[in-house]
Structure 1
Amino acid sequence: MVKDAPRLPASWDPAIRDFVDRHPAMLHELANGFDAPIHLLFPERFARNAAAFERTLAEHRVMGRVYYAKKANKARCFVRAAADLGLGVDVASVGEFADALAAGVRGDDLGVSGPAKANPLLRLAVRHSALIAIDSLDELVRLAGIARHCGRVARILLRMQPASPRATRFGLDEASLDAAVALCAEHRSAMVLEGFSFHLSGYSAQARSDQAAIAVRACVSARARDLTPQTVNIGGGFAMSYASASDWADFLTAHRPADYHANKTFDGFYPYHAAGDGAHMLDAVLTAVPEGEARPLAALLSEHGLQLMLEPGRALLDQAGFTLFAVQGVKDRGDYGITTVNGTSFSLSEQWFASEFLPDPELLTAPHEPPRERVPYRACVGGASCLDSDMVTWRKIAFPQRPAPGDLLLYPNTAGYQMDSNESPFHELPLPPKLVVTLDGPRPRWCVDRLSTLSGV
């Protein structure tokens, strides 16, 4: 039964894989010392991911700017890395704005997104010259009043409703967009239109190229009104691969409801392998010929002197962190077991989407203990709360042996959205601390990440 269990082995950054393999005692010491689930972070990998996006822009001779979408992870170390690298940072709250400033990001390197932004956030953005993505006419009118009151000129993008809006609640439709451009022309003393933005669900490079061309045409039209837009913001949604193509295909073919505790089923999963991911997807966006055009998007941007702005979050965090839980107990349930760990499912946020984080967790047995019998053992993973639905992993994982108290479960590649999007101190359990690991010396070094200026951590 274990032999036929569906697996999804994670892909690994070689340096981080080497760290895990060579320093299991350190991992156990950290997990024991903090007495909680812990997240380990690797900002050096974040920097390499950012460099790949910037290389792609340069290869296509496209003026561009990468903004880190801060919502993907609250850790201060990634925002500090963004500041050091000269990236912008996308924020959507006063707390995120303040934390980015505290990490060294300049106000004019901040992008502010989100629907119907509250006046305190708009005021903060205006005073720090941040770039504000406007989502509605009401918000634009409020912003104009705030800018006049502050005696400043607001920098804005107008967020477009996608050409195929489906059920999105975001963006200005065609009529509202035209009215917003007219307001920008009317209130030049209070705001300057720097361009147009959009965000698409899904991971289609062609769809992003098509919508970007619509934004290019909007810039050209606005220039005819004596405005000076210069930016097209294509948002985020850059795919990320957690596993190989063959392993992902095999998993999709093999898994069945019986492979999950309580025969749990899901409406869908994140695509854990993408043929074009990260900076490769950006390359595909730039080389695609948009609908209605005769040349690639890169050529259109250059022709009109426009810069491309993008807001990857998950893709910048690829391989930039993993999560450790400690095993508290195991009980048998016939042909499988239930492993309980010292945290909850709130620390793997895929459950927020009524789904499952699928890459296989790894069992790290407790060091300095007598060897145990290595008989393959299938087990799902439950959280420490009193809720039946608190399952860290519903799938019955094929472990090489029966987990035991003192062992660790390592969940790979969790930095992008998984760590803290849904975290909660339910049951007064501590929030998992984030530890920043540096691998540039003879021995790994670590320190505690300060999450936020407002958190008291």
Structure 2
Amino acid sequence: MDTRTAPLLSSPIQELLSERTSLSDWVSGFGSPLHVVFPAQARENYRQWEDLLGRAYGSCKIQFALKSCKSSALLQAFAKAGAGADVSSAQEIVSAFVNMVSAHDMAMTGPAKTNHEMALCLKHRIPIHVDCIEELRRLLDIAGWAGDPARLFLRLRPGSEARSRFGMSPDQIEECLNLLKAAGVDQIGYSFHLNDYEMSSRVRELGRCLQLARRSHAAGFRCCGIDIGGGFPMRYLAGFDRDTYNNGPLWSGRCASGTYPYAAETYGPFHAAAVIATALADPTDLAFLEAGNIPILLQPGRSLLDQCGVTAFRVTELKALDENSQIAVLDGMSFSLSETWFGSDFVPEPIIINVGNRAPRTADLHTYLVGRSCLESDVIRKRSIRPSNGISAGDLVVFVNTAGYQMDSNESAFHQIPLPRKLAAVRKSTGWAFHLDEQGSREE
């Protein structure tokens, strides 16, 4: 393994991979690829987030972004620990309800909600994020028969992204406030959506939302919260040199690493807490929030799922390319490692688990990982790997830390092949146990 892209591993994942037999047996029983999630890790992550955010500001609310992973076991683990849910469709609302999230703890954040979804939120009093004035007009019409809105958040367009399709300008926000005042709605909050992972941009936009909240408070509105969304980077690697990666042996010579900050120095809850602490450096802003008991809401997805899942593919066969390189055809497709949707690699190097006494393994060959479909573009990893112990048919290729967006964001039943199964793994004193993900987190 290339140590420069060796993934960071939690103790439970290290134990499962070292033990080998359980994971291989599970893949044999449930098929390849197989997703494995760890509900206990989800609870531990939530507690860490809650602790660090509480030090930055006393009233922070964490809402897990359902779009980042469809796992029932992980969502239920977060809900039992106290997290809310960030939903963007009627189907995600149903999933949140089934997995024990109350309507009060949800947020409907999707930018283009159908009339049915708006009515569903109004009927259940789920807070709604309004993306544009046209959407607000539609919402107020529906409220005439579906019920008054509980809490509304107006989405501010970032100052650095004037052409973003999300959010509104300050003038459009003002127009929304006039409509809301005329409709008798006096409880509002503010939010924003950013297309980056920068701390400075979040500090700036949180500051802009604070100023809007203070001005609207002076105009007679009550602030129900400021929502800073997600985009807090997760740390996959101890260090990462993007240029070295992109200049290595690549399938078809294509750039492969994308732009994700795989080795962010400040990451996850540390990143989020630093954003809040920096933005609230002005004591008058802090006093305003505390006086009104105004929460700061966050919707982490990937970064809340750190070390919460792995994805295991079985090697179907090897195909020689030349004397120095080969293809490993995996029993699965790139749809099950969704970073490929962006035309880039999921950078952390997969771990090879050699299974049984099979044909001699040729070590040190450049090996490209490809899927089983008929698509030329079905390449699971564009940068080659060089397994130190070789690789052969029947071995497992295990990608680590895949719960956040990688497992199922882009999954497909292409070729009528069933979608991959998910198992929830539990470490017991007698060894590893599992249950089907759809059974929830269960009591351990």
* 1:307-338 deviation line (CA, Å, top 9, x unaligned): 11000000110110000000001011111110
> 2:151 touches 2:189 (CA, 8 Å); kept in 1?
no
C-alpha RMSD of the superposition: 2.1
Equivalent pairs counted in the alignment come to 439
Which of 218, 243, 257 is matched with 2:237 structurally? 243
Distance 2:340 2:210 in 1: 37
2:252 corresponds in structure 1 to 262
The one-character-per-residue Cα deviations of 1:186-219 (angstroms, maximum 9, x if unpaired) are 112xx45331011212222222112111111111
Q: Secondary structure at the match of 1:238?
A: coil
SS at 1:274 equivalent: coil
Match of 1:389 in 2: 377
Name 2:317's counterpart in structure 1. 329
Contact 2:103 2:126 survives alignment (8 Å) = yes
| C-alpha distance in structure 1 between counterparts of 2:42 and 2:3, whole Å | 31
2:155 matches 1:162: no
Structure 2's unaligned 5+ residue stretches are none
Q: Is 2:11 the counterpart of 1:14?
A: yes
Amino acid at match of 1:347: S
DSSP-derived class of the 1:259 partner: coil
- Within-5 A mapping of 1:205-354: 205-245=199-239, 248-249=240-241, 252-257=242-247, 259-266=249-256, 268-289=258-279, 294=282, 301-302=289-290, 305-334=293-322, 335-354=324-343
Deviations 1:281-304 (A, max 9, x none): 0221123257xx745975664366
Say yes or no: does 1:399 pair with 2:390.
no
Query: How far apart, CA to CA, are the structure 1 residues paired with 2:68 and 2:34?
Result: 17
After TM superposition, list the pairs within 5 Å mapping 1:99-138 onto structure 2: 99-138=95-134
Partners in 2 of 1:296 and 1:408 — Cα distance?
A: 56
Aligned equivalent of 1:455: none
Answer whether contact 1:377 1:400 (CA < 8 A) is retained: no
Show CA shifts across 1:410-453 (max 9, x none).
Answer: 0010000001111101111121111011124432211111299x
Which of 128, 147, 153 does residue 151 from structure 1 map onto?
Answer: 147
Change (3 A) 1:174 1:381: same
Report the Cα offset of residue 366 of structure 1.
1.2
Find 2:81's aligned residue among 85, 106, 129.
85
- Output aligned runs, 1:158-197, within 5 Å: 158-188=154-184, 191-197=185-191
Look up the equivalent residue of 1:156 and give its one-letter code.
L
Equivalent pair of 2:34/2:313 in contact (CA under 8 Å): yes
- Tell me the equivalent position of 2:68: 72
Distance in structure 1 (CA, Å) of the matches to 2:288 and 2:148: 33
Once residues 326 and 197 of structure 1 are traced to their aligned partners in structure 2, the CA distance between those partners, rounded to angstroms, is: 43
- The residue type equivalent to 2:230 in the other structure is G
Structure 2 letter corresponding to 1:14: S
Structure 1, gaps ≥5 residues long: 453-457
Counterpart selection for 1:411 from 390, 399, 404 = 399
Name the CA distance, whole Å, in 2 between partners of 1:14 and 1:271: 23
Distance in 2 separating the partners of 1:202 and 1:60: 22
- Whether contact under 8 Å (1:156, 1:192) holds in the other structure is no
Given that residues 287 and 298 in structure 1 are in contact (C-alpha distance below 8 angstroms), is that contact kept between their aligned partners in structure 2? no
Distance in structure 1 (CA, Å) of the matches to 2:139 and 2:226: 21
- Which range moved further: 155-164 or 254-263? 254-263
Aligned to 1:366: 355
